[in-house]
Amino acid sequence: MLRTPGLLALFLAKLLSTFGSWLTLLALPWFVLVTTGSPVKMSAVLAAEFLGVVTLGLPSGRVVARLGVRRTMLICDAARVPLMALIPLLHQAGWLSLPALLTVSFGLGAFTAPYVSSQRLILADLLGPARGTDEKLLARANSLIDGATRIAALAGPALGGLLIALLGPAQVLWIDAGTYLVSYLILAAFVRPPATAVTAADRESSRASDEQTGTFAGLRHALRHRALRLFVLALTLVTISVPAVFICLPVLVMNDLGGDPRMLGLLIAANGAGLAIGSLVAITGLGRMSNTALTGAAVLQCAPLWLLLIDQAAAVASGLFLVGLATPLLAATLNTRVTLRTPAPIRPHVMTAVTTSENLAAFIGYTAAGPALHLSGLRTVFAAIATLATLGAITFAMALRADHSPSVSAAGRIPEVANTAHRQGYGKTYSRG
């Protein structure tokens, strides 16, 4: 798998940029909470980034389709370097107000949707026309790249908590800016999908597709296909709940677990450990897992969230670990099936629709969590989180059942997918790419 040209470089770029993102996930909310004392302002800053994703997510599908996935990724990485560096720069100059922080967060989100969509789509390009349509092989490739996220999730939070304690949260953000720069350099030098012959018919088909589909093509396509519609609904429910957990954890640590940022890092690192182990399971065994086993993974992702109701560090860490263990299996399954159930000409539109739906859900989770904590308290919010995740697991199981039908299985084969998909209709936790 790693012998595929460009795949190892993509893995390394993903590992570095996600490591920096995990540092920011700790440093930014901790910075806002310490300087303002307001959970509402803390959630607003994180929500601003997702608002950028949601606002520009669907239109970015046409950008990806026109520029190509690799060029889009390079532009997004290059833009996020100075944006992330602005936060510590403004802080050092004494000019970092809440509106400025919200604006920078929105700008970071604006470049996230096209980047994440392109990163998912480039895998099929790197594998080539023949291997890129193999569901098991593409699932392994998705698991490998997701594995970079999970490995970073193991090291990033633990190191982030330590760095925040040593350097302060504002200084830690410089590291994230640096990881975007290194990611850009790796992509520019080593990630080059093989060129494929493009016929006049291909160009005409692509041009006609772009003219007929438009900005909302991906969303329409996803809503018409029953299995994909259920997958997106499951993703939405889970993605509302999981980001809300990360809003609650700083408050839990500050109020009930001693107020030490290292404890926050350890709790998130427990989730990262589960993610890392789950990624290894996904890389080696996902292709052999039945829908029944994947349904079990969905249950494993939601059930441990009820442990968050126990105000003990060990219980919370155990719950986060088990949630992380199941997540890579479900993420790789969703990304693979979305890719293969979609005609190639409109994959950028569909993938950006999925990414936008995911980040809209995260925006809701981040926006609602702060006021909910203020009004209802931690236990009520944790109960709501666990309930939403449970509904998401049920919906994911329904999606697997719908996708297992003979007609949908046939639609997964790329030579037949265009006609079948249009008749029937048809994947960060937090991740910023």
Q: What pLDDT is attached to residue 184?
A: 94
Domain boundaries defined on the chain: 7-424
Q: What pLDDT is attached to residue 202?
A: 46
Residue 236 CB partners (closer than 8 Å, separation 6+): 357, 358, 360, 361, 392
Q: What pLDDT is attached to residue 426?
A: 26
* CA triple 312-313-317, angle to 5 deg: 120
Q: What pLDDT is attached to residue 433?
A: 56
DSSP string, 356-381: HHHHHHHHHHHHHHHHHHHHH-HHHH
DSSP string, 265-284: HHHHHHHHHHHHHHHHHHHH
Give the C-alpha separation, 292 to 297, whole Å: 9
Instruction: Render each residue's pLDDT in the chain as its tens digit; 433 residues.
Output: 556 668 888 889 888 888 888 788 788 888 888 777 787 788 788 778 878 877 877 677 778 878 888 999 999 999 999 999 998 899 888 888 889 999 998 998 888 878 887 887 788 788 776 565 566 777 777 778 877 877 776 777 778 878 888 888 888 889 889 989 999 999 999 998 876 544 444 444 445 444 445 557 777 888 888 888 898 899 999 988 887 888 888 888 888 887 787 788 888 888 888 888 888 888 888 778 888 888 898 898 899 999 888 878 889 999 999 998 898 888 888 888 888 788 877 777 787 788 778 878 877 887 788 888 888 888 899 999 999 999 999 999 999 888 864 444 443 333 333 232 222 222 344 344 5
Give the C-alpha separation, 240 to 105, whole Å: 19
Q: What pLDDT is attached to residue 189?
A: 93
Q: What pLDDT is attached to residue 196?
A: 53
Give the C-alpha separation, 346 to 62, whole Å: 9
Q: What pLDDT is attached to residue 343?
A: 80
Cα separation of the two ends of the chain: 21
* Token pair belonging to 410: 């046939």
**Has domain 7-424 been given CATH number 1.20.1250.20?**
yes
Q: How far is CA 151 from CA 10, 177, 385, in A?
A: 14, 19, 25
* CA triple 394-236-241, angle to 5 deg: 85
Q: What pLDDT is attached to residue 180?
A: 92
Q: What pLDDT is attached to residue 214?
A: 55
Q: What pLDDT is attached to residue 211?
A: 44
- Comparing C-alpha atoms, which of 139, 94, 10 is closest to residue 433? 10
Q: What pLDDT is attached to residue 49?
A: 82
